[in-house]
Structure 1
Amino acid sequence: MRYSLSAFIVILLIAGLLTACSTGPAPGAAEEAAPAPAADNAEAAPAADADAADMADSMEAPALAAMVADGSLPALSERLPVSPKVVEPVDGPGQYGGIWRMGLRGGQDNALLVRTMAYEHLVRWTPDWTGIEPNIAEAYEASDDATEYTFHLREGTKWSDGEPFTADDIVFWAEDIIGNAEFEAAHNVPNWLTANGEPVTVEKVDDYTVKFIFAGPNGLFLQRLATPSGADLTRWPKHYCSQFHPDYNADNLDALITEADATDWVNLMELKCAGVPGTPYDARWQNGDLPSLNPWILTTAYGAGTQVVAERNPYYWKVDSDGRQLPYIDKIVYDVGEDVDVLVLKALNGEIDMQDRHIGTLANKAVFADNMEAGGYGFYETIPSGMNTIAIALNLTHKDPVRREMFQNKDFRIALSQAINRQEIIDVVYVGQGEPYQLAPRPTSPFYNEQLAKQYTEYDPDMANEILDGLYPDKNDDGIRIGPDGEPLTLVVDVTSNQQDRIDALGLIQGYWKAVGVDMQINSMDRSLLYTRKDSNEHDVSVWGGDG
């Protein structure tokens, strides 16, 4: 796909859907739908793999060809796997070169980096989201009972430093990282990698074959593997990360811990190869020495200055349908700015080429529309994958048993939902765009269910009061109901400070709930603190987008 490097903006038209339900954000969950970054990393139809041996060495970026010519880089045939992943360009073959300019907000905007250059898992979703297709794995099989999954890796795939990617890298992650008691104590094995309470076992069949064995059926394993969490399996180069592990480098470990200003070997591994729990630190973006399988590799790390820079990976393992090595684009440059308004101005001035995150919002739509002709950009309407714009998630596992019982009461949650005037919020906050909706699949989804989508969305304060009168009839002098603990019924709602539309919506909901006798305190905070409070089970209610 050709990408014009003139300034244009993807304006993401997200419906103003509101919900009150019992879900919460997962760490690293995206706040808006992601754009398709480039033909090598999105929108590709499944295609047969190519034979690298038949490809001419000239089928690469000119800069890489020059490095091959001067002897500083191996020939293309030595850098590609035997069967590269073939990506079919949507609009025909692209041209090598150019810089893709984007903007990051502050020092914690990892989501944009993940979306634009880090979706390289064993498998991935097809571009139309109808199924799973091989990616780093050339093929896979699942047992009939969904307890065993076998992946065949692409022979000859290499990390960005030229070292082979093999089954040993995945086994290292399984046995020495999540299988290590000290490391696991700080990170925990995610539920999707367990069955019947037991973590997955990973076996090396040969250099290019690995088998995942579960203690019971795990029928959604492939689908979960295709989500952002699936990156964990393919981000651990053993040849690099093992130097920070006591089982491989005990003699030099203390010196490395001191040099990195780490507290112990687990923290050292977090800084070099993983991430630090409760913080936005992610080694993929902060450690430029960490090899990767991504199309672009860091040359200026996050936090090293006012830009994050990533240049093409000479060992990238994908080609287009003509056998030309991807990516087409030479470099990605992310300007780092603390204020969203700065990013908007950059876009208006032609300093951002393509981006939706932070920019493609309803609040910004008017200013972009007014400046479209002068700026030479356009709106590109996309269909968002998120089920809603706002999810108000009550903590059903609250540490306080009284609050836990109250939040688990379905009638209580129904009352809060019916007390919300969604249409007014849509009109006031989201300039009339959207419709009242629950946290449910969209009408275009094969899983759409009208009852799930629309139930309890009608604004009915009388019904809400009737339900709450049956639960907590007593009120104080301010009209706030007395909760089951004998105190005024106050809900503390956590929300990220950079999502002004959510804060504005909560300001209206605060009034709706007070009218039915429920007090709300809006607790605006940094995203990392919201994650910490949620992960520590310290919150009453958290607010997130409806994307997971």
Structure 2
Amino acid sequence: MKRRVFTAGMALGALLRPSFLRAATPPALQETPWLADRVKSGALPDVAKRVPQQPSIVTYFPGGQGPGRPGGEVNMLISSARDTRLMTVYSNARLIVYDDKFKLQTDILDSYDVKDGRQFTLKLRAGHRWSDGQPFTTEDFRYFWEDMANNKDLSPSGPSVELLVDGQPPKVEIRDAVTIRYTWDKPNPYFIASQARAAPLWLFRPSHYLKKFHIKYTPADEIAKAARGGQGGNWVQIHRSVDTMYYDSNPDLPTLNPWMQTTAPPAQRFVYDRNPYYYRVDEKGCQLPYFDRVVFTVVAANLVPAKAGLGESDLQCRYLNMRDYTFLRKSSKTSNVEVLLWEQGSGSQLALYPNLNAKDDVWRALNRDIRFRRALSVGIDRDELNEVIYTGLATPSNNTIMSQSTLFKPEYATKWATYDAKLANKLLDQAGLTKRNDEGVRLLSDGRAATIVVEYSSEISEDTDMLSLIADQWKKIGIKLLSKPQSLNNFRMRAFSGDAIMTAYAGVVTAVPSLETSPREFCPTMQGGLQWPRWGMFIESKGKQGEKCDVQDVCVLLDYLREWETATDDATRRKAWDQILQTNMEQVLSIGTLNGIGQPIVVGPKVRNVPKKGYYAWDPGGYIGLYKPDTFWLTS
């Protein structure tokens, strides 16, 4: 029996960094100037009564410019009202979070205890409050579990899949006002990591607010009256419309984020004011966030680079690409913004996916031939791609994890990914493609030319350029590549149906995994896996749709995944991860090109503590969320 106990920034085995290290005695708290008048008038209690008894204390500042000073307003640009969800993503207020080294640590939680990988005891911070001042307690967890996840009207399919082990839900025990326990009969490896995602599996809701819209607690006619604008509809529709924890589009919904929404959509300008009950403070006792206000201004996505370069955004990362970098740097000379270049987190900027479930019998057999897949990979000159398209600023690599991961091994990036036209020709000959037509294109077993139509859905010019260069390179080994752009819906439909022989799309999202991260993306478990969509559909549908995996060298990945899922110690998890990554590397189940592409980040001249170098990805990280924007601050 093994136990692991995690507490506010400290963990056995030094698993957690000191970003939120609990001090023996919390520092003397300072009142925030922006809130001082409200405190003086009695509209707000003193800061000591607003933060938890043991607040999350920030002692580590990734940008190296902290502690900071409170105050000021920053503007960011978004492309639509739906992007209010970016506040949730950027805020990165989670029960458990990744630090900037991708290690898990407590955040909203005071501590958590894991027993045998199947029992999880979560402890909240005593005195923690929602943004409206109401207590945040285990009643908010009970409400979610009993009144939402297990309510057939609100959740017809029952609890989320991460809350089921072999189809069975956990036993949920409310131990006291700050302690809750989840217990399964078998290990649940997905539970902890699900809390740290950019779009987390929320285990709680502001029950005191949502009970006003739940039929168990409030009559239907009162629910209709309480709804925004007295809207019609049944109570389920109304409850769902006001429960926008992720999308952050309901100003009345209490939050735990550093900034709270004050503008109801539709709008062109969304204003977020600081949360007076926020749970983090710095080592000097200053309550975070430092910014008093954040404003999201809606503009057309294609105008964001120009406006950011002209200084109309104080902090901008979304809607910027590497192609904008030169313009942004030039514009910065007059606008005085700083243009940083972070590293995009993706296994490959563009990867090729031979469809192992293609309908065409000849192409399906060839795609399943390891010699063919290896030949295509070594037939790509990634150094040329890098120099021509990204002026040498990217990293040639397989479609695999990145070097920031503790699971990374150099061979994962380089094996079968070094240009060797001679070897590629040899492998293609061994695969039976020995005959050629008058154009030098190899012939398939049925006499057709080996013309691979690579279907893709991308508006990024660099992706189109990359496919064009690969076409030139493959021509030298007797393979003809034709790229065919598609709408995203048509792209997915053709890939999932098997009509597409090969597709091109972004690489793996799980680019910097830890031992606790699920390796499902590297296994045939999801329909969205473009190299094995029908095998993935079979797993997702529990055998009702798709096809069962019938290539043993690939099917073994499911065995390794099961080993990871049932592991109760780190050594077993690491072994399973190594086997999965090794198999993907040797089998060349997707063909990577380049990763580590630069991501421009525009920072206003007064904004401080934004890291000069950073990792930019949806998950893990939440774009800039990984570096805690509540610690960014403004000079006067």
For residues 403 and 314 of structure 1, the distance between their equivalents in structure 2, rounded to whole angstroms, comes to: 61
2:317 maps to 1:347: no
For residues 158 and 353 of structure 2, the distance between their equivalents in structure 1, rounded to whole angstroms, comes to: 24
Shift of 1:135: 1.0
Instruction: Give the SS at the match of 2:334.
Output: helix
For residues 404 and 198 of structure 1, the distance between their equivalents in structure 2, rounded to whole angstroms, comes to: 37
Out of 458, 471, 478, the residue aligned to residue 418 of structure 2 is 458
Shift of 1:395: 6.6
For residues 292 and 198 of structure 1, the distance between their equivalents in structure 2, rounded to whole angstroms, comes to: 30
2:163 maps to 1:193: yes
2:101 maps to 1:128: yes
For residues 115 and 94 of structure 1, the distance between their equivalents in structure 2, rounded to whole angstroms, comes to: 22
Q: Which residue of 2 is the match for residue 296 of structure 1? A: 259
Question: CA deviation digits over 1:187-221, x for unaligned, max 9?
Answer: 8724x433334344432111110112223113463
2:411 maps to 1:442: no
Out of 366, 373, 388, the residue aligned to residue 326 of structure 2 is 366
For residues 73 and 228 of structure 2, the distance between their equivalents in structure 1, rounded to whole angstroms, comes to: 38
Residues 1:213 and 1:433: Cα distance change in structure 2 (over 3 Å) = same
Instruction: Give the SS at the match of 1:60.
Output: coil
2:383 maps to 1:417: no
Q: Which residue of 2 is the match for residue 151 of structure 1? A: 122
Residues 1:74 and 1:451: Cα distance change in structure 2 (over 3 Å) = same
Shift of 1:404: 8.3
Instruction: Give the SS at the match of 1:172.
Output: helix
What amino acid sits opposite 1:194 in the alignment? Answer: L
Q: Tell me, yes or no, if the aligned pair for 2:130 and 2:277 is still in contact at 8 Å.
A: yes
Residues 1:260 and 1:522: Cα distance change in structure 2 (over 3 Å) = farther
Out of 81, 91, 114, the residue aligned to residue 142 of structure 1 is 114
With 207-216 and 487-496 compared, the bigger mean Cα shift is at 487-496
For residues 228 and 260 of structure 2, the distance between their equivalents in structure 1, rounded to whole angstroms, comes to: 27
For residues 129 and 496 of structure 2, the distance between their equivalents in structure 1, rounded to whole angstroms, comes to: 39
Q: Tell me, yes or no, if the aligned pair for 1:50 and 1:85 is still in contact at 8 Å.
A: no
In the alignment, structure 1 segments of 5+ residues that lack a partner are: 1-42, 275-281
Out of 416, 426, 431, the residue aligned to residue 391 of structure 2 is 431
For residues 546 and 366 of structure 1, the distance between their equivalents in structure 2, rounded to whole angstroms, comes to: 27
What amino acid sits opposite 2:208 in the alignment? Answer: H
2:189 maps to 1:216: no
What amino acid sits opposite 2:51 in the alignment? Answer: L
Q: Which residue of 2 is the match for residue 105 of structure 1? A: 79
2:221 maps to 1:252: yes
Shift of 1:292: 0.9
Shift of 1:232: 1.9
Q: Tell me, yes or no, if the aligned pair for 1:160 and 1:297 is still in contact at 8 Å.
A: yes
Higher gyration radius (CA)? 2
Q: Which residue of 2 is the match for residue 27 of structure 1? A: none
Task: Write out aligned runs for 1:26-45 (5 A).
Answer: 45=19
Q: Which residue of 1 is the match for residue 208 of structure 2? A: 239
Q: Tell me, yes or no, if the aligned pair for 1:273 and 1:290 is still in contact at 8 Å.
A: yes
Q: Tell me, yes or no, if the aligned pair for 1:390 and 1:545 is still in contact at 8 Å.
A: yes
2:292 maps to 1:318: no
Residues 1:473 and 1:381: Cα distance change in structure 2 (over 3 Å) = same
For residues 305 and 123 of structure 2, the distance between their equivalents in structure 1, rounded to whole angstroms, comes to: 44
Residues 1:51 and 1:339: Cα distance change in structure 2 (over 3 Å) = same
Q: Tell me, yes or no, if the aligned pair for 2:433 and 2:442 is still in contact at 8 Å.
A: no
Q: Which residue of 1 is the match for residue 21 of structure 2? A: 47
Q: Tell me, yes or no, if the aligned pair for 2:356 and 2:364 is still in contact at 8 Å.
A: yes
For residues 539 and 291 of structure 1, the distance between their equivalents in structure 2, rounded to whole angstroms, comes to: 48
Shift of 1:523: 1.8
Q: Tell me, yes or no, if the aligned pair for 2:378 and 2:424 is still in contact at 8 Å.
A: yes
What amino acid sits opposite 2:255 in the alignment? Answer: S
Q: Tell me, yes or no, if the aligned pair for 1:245 and 1:269 is still in contact at 8 Å.
A: yes
For residues 489 and 336 of structure 1, the distance between their equivalents in structure 2, rounded to whole angstroms, comes to: 44
What amino acid sits opposite 1:128 in the alignment? Answer: K
Instruction: Give the SS at the match of 1:210.
Output: strand
In the alignment, structure 2 segments of 5+ residues that lack a partner are: 1-16, 511-636
Residues 1:448 and 1:260: Cα distance change in structure 2 (over 3 Å) = farther
For residues 359 and 240 of structure 2, the distance between their equivalents in structure 1, rounded to whole angstroms, comes to: 29
For residues 257 and 487 of structure 2, the distance between their equivalents in structure 1, rounded to whole angstroms, comes to: 35
Shift of 1:394: 5.9
Shift of 1:92: 3.7
Instruction: Give the SS at the match of 1:363.
Output: helix
Q: Which residue of 1 is the match for residue 90 of structure 2? A: 116
For residues 172 and 300 of structure 1, the distance between their equivalents in structure 2, rounded to whole angstroms, comes to: 27
What amino acid sits opposite 1:364 in the alignment? Answer: D
Q: Which residue of 2 is the match for residue 67 of structure 1? A: 38
TM-score of the superposed pair, with normalisation by structure 2: 0.65
With 203-212 and 465-474 compared, the bigger mean Cα shift is at 465-474
With 105-114 and 258-267 compared, the bigger mean Cα shift is at 258-267
Question: CA deviation digits over 1:40-79, x for unaligned, max 9?
Answer: xxx9723215767x855xx222221111112222222322
What amino acid sits opposite 1:125 in the alignment? Answer: Y
Residues 1:135 and 1:368: Cα distance change in structure 2 (over 3 Å) = same
For residues 186 and 87 of structure 2, the distance between their equivalents in structure 1, rounded to whole angstroms, comes to: 35
For residues 365 and 403 of structure 1, the distance between their equivalents in structure 2, rounded to whole angstroms, comes to: 40
For residues 188 and 291 of structure 1, the distance between their equivalents in structure 2, rounded to whole angstroms, comes to: 23
Shift of 1:375: 2.5
Residues 1:410 and 1:202: Cα distance change in structure 2 (over 3 Å) = farther
Task: Write out aligned runs for 1:256-271 (5 A).
Answer: 266-271=236-241
2:290 maps to 1:328: yes
For residues 205 and 132 of structure 1, the distance between their equivalents in structure 2, rounded to whole angstroms, comes to: 24
For residues 179 and 488 of structure 1, the distance between their equivalents in structure 2, rounded to whole angstroms, comes to: 54
Q: Tell me, yes or no, if the aligned pair for 1:389 and 1:546 is still in contact at 8 Å.
A: no
What amino acid sits opposite 2:131 in the alignment? Answer: S
Task: Write out aligned runs for 1:273-312 (5 A).
Answer: 273-274=243-244, 284-301=247-264, 303-312=265-274
Out of 175, 195, 198, the residue aligned to residue 225 of structure 1 is 195
Q: Tell me, yes or no, if the aligned pair for 2:452 and 2:480 is still in contact at 8 Å.
A: no
2:171 maps to 1:171: no
2:246 maps to 1:272: no
For residues 460 and 416 of structure 1, the distance between their equivalents in structure 2, rounded to whole angstroms, comes to: 10
What amino acid sits opposite 1:77 in the alignment? Answer: A
For residues 138 and 455 of structure 2, the distance between their equivalents in structure 1, rounded to whole angstroms, comes to: 45
For residues 495 and 180 of structure 2, the distance between their equivalents in structure 1, rounded to whole angstroms, comes to: 32
Residues 1:210 and 1:407: Cα distance change in structure 2 (over 3 Å) = farther
Shift of 1:267: 4.5
Shift of 1:293: 0.3
Q: Tell me, yes or no, if the aligned pair for 1:490 and 1:521 is still in contact at 8 Å.
A: no
Identity rate, percent: 28
Q: Tell me, yes or no, if the aligned pair for 1:46 and 1:126 is still in contact at 8 Å.
A: no
For residues 471 and 262 of structure 1, the distance between their equivalents in structure 2, rounded to whole angstroms, comes to: 67
For residues 110 and 231 of structure 2, the distance between their equivalents in structure 1, rounded to whole angstroms, comes to: 40
For residues 87 and 155 of structure 1, the distance between their equivalents in structure 2, rounded to whole angstroms, comes to: 18
Q: Which residue of 1 is the match for residue 349 of structure 2? A: 389
Q: Which residue of 1 is the match for residue 462 of structure 2? A: 501
Shift of 1:378: 3.0
Q: Tell me, yes or no, if the aligned pair for 2:148 and 2:155 is still in contact at 8 Å.
A: yes
Q: Tell me, yes or no, if the aligned pair for 2:93 and 2:257 is still in contact at 8 Å.
A: yes
Instruction: Give the SS at the match of 2:484.
Output: strand
CA root-mean-square deviation: 4.1
Instruction: Give the SS at the match of 2:272.
Output: strand
Instruction: Give the SS at the match of 1:142.
Output: strand
What amino acid sits opposite 1:98 in the alignment? Answer: G
What amino acid sits opposite 1:378 in the alignment? Answer: E
- Say how many residue pairs are matched: 483
